Amino acid sequence: MSRTVMRDPDLTLRDKGLYAYLATYANSVGNELDVSINRMASECGVAPSTVKRSIDVLKKKGIIDRVYNGKNISLKTVLLK
């Protein structure tokens, strides 16, 4: 997990929390993960739209790179920082 991300004052606690959550799923080889938005929302106790908003923020900040699978349900995310 990146201290730079966690100390970024432009990120909300929600955004930082999702980043930390994603970091727990990332593999050690390429920091890649594949987890559905619905699963993230369920495990974090929020709506899928909340997860999507935070993912968009993290992507715009260059913290993650988001690549959809063919179904557009799961999320392959590469943690960049």
Distance CA 79, CA 5 (A): 11
Edge to edge, what strands does the sheet with 74-79 contain?
A: 32-36, 74-79, 64-68
75's enclosing H/E stretch is strand 74-79
- The CATH code of the domain that includes 53 is 1.10.10.10
- Structural domain of 50: 3-79
The number of domains in the chain is 1
Please report the pLDDT score of residue 25 as a whole number.
Answer: 80
The pTM for the full model equals 0.80
- Predicted confidence (pLDDT) per residue in 45-79, tens digit: 999 999 999 999 998 988 888 766 555 444 566 66
How confident is the model over 2-13, as a mean pLDDT?
A: 91
